Amino acid sequence: MASRYALVHNNNIKVGPREWHKGAFQSYLDQNGITYTVPVFYNGDDPILINIRASILPVYYENTPSLNSKIEQAAGPFYSIGEDRVTASYTKVNKPIEMVKNELKTIVNNIRPIKETAGITYSFNDGDGKVQLRDERDFRNIMAISAAALALKANNVTDPVVIFRDEADVTHSMTPDEAIAFGMHVQQAITDIYKWSWDKKAEIDACTTLEELNNFVIIENMSDLPLNTIPMEWSQTDVDIHIALNGNPPPRGKR
């Protein structure tokens, strides 16, 4: 059943395609001296023949072509006027190369904070622990520990008096030197994530063809994305598109 209609006059679409609207169709007819009373409501599939040159036709939309959404997009709709209907169709065209580059760089920008908020595993003197880096509060906590450790070191403190609690609520005691090394490790981990982002965007900018961009892989291995949320059957393009649109990876089991 048609959901949109077009008023065709002299083989040109003059109103629509749009949902049925008596006022819109009636206004055009009145302004062009065409005598006809448009029904208030209509949801049928039959054409409404007004005169030899004017009619209101149902509009049918063809399916969009299969696309490689990384480098292709649909163009249209293009309208073909028949005797009893208007057919809307789409064609497949290449995206402009700068558009593809910007979309890929947006994906990189969206993945970077995901990598950050996943945290890092650090080897404390009493065992490994997960360091949370969820937000600015976590970063400030790490920096405060480093600052306190520097002050303690300046006062020749060598005992394990600096405390940190990891993601599993395990408390780790560190000497000032160990705490300083801990803070530097966390800062380096964040720097490495930013460097990953900068390098990826530079590689994207260096591409000169759509073919290169189509083959460009942002996440070399699914396990590189530090969230256990992506089924392995998802393709690279699936993941890229989802992250670009939603800012986060697709939940497990949903496509």
Would you list the domain boundaries of the chain? 4-94, 97-246
Whether residue 228 is predicted with pLDDT greater than 50 in this model: the reply is no
d(CA 131, CA 250): 24
SS3 76: strand
Q: Measured between alpha carbons, how far is residue 83 from residues 114, 161, 223, 239 in Å?
A: 55, 86, 57, 44
Instruction: Note the pLDDT tens digit of each residue in 184-194.
Output: 999 999 999 99
pTM of the full predicted structure?
A: 0.70
Is 67 in contact with 75 (CB distance < 8 Å)?
no
Percent helix, strand and coil across the chain, each to the nearest 5: 40, 25, 35
pLDDT at 223: 54
Instruction: Note the pLDDT tens digit of each residue in 108-165.
Output: 888 888 888 888 899 999 999 999 888 888 889 999 999 999 999 999 999 999 999 9
Q: Measured between alpha carbons, how far is residue 170 from residues 126, 127, 142, 173 in Å?
A: 10, 10, 16, 10
Q: What are phi and psi of 151, to 5 degrees?
A: -65, -40
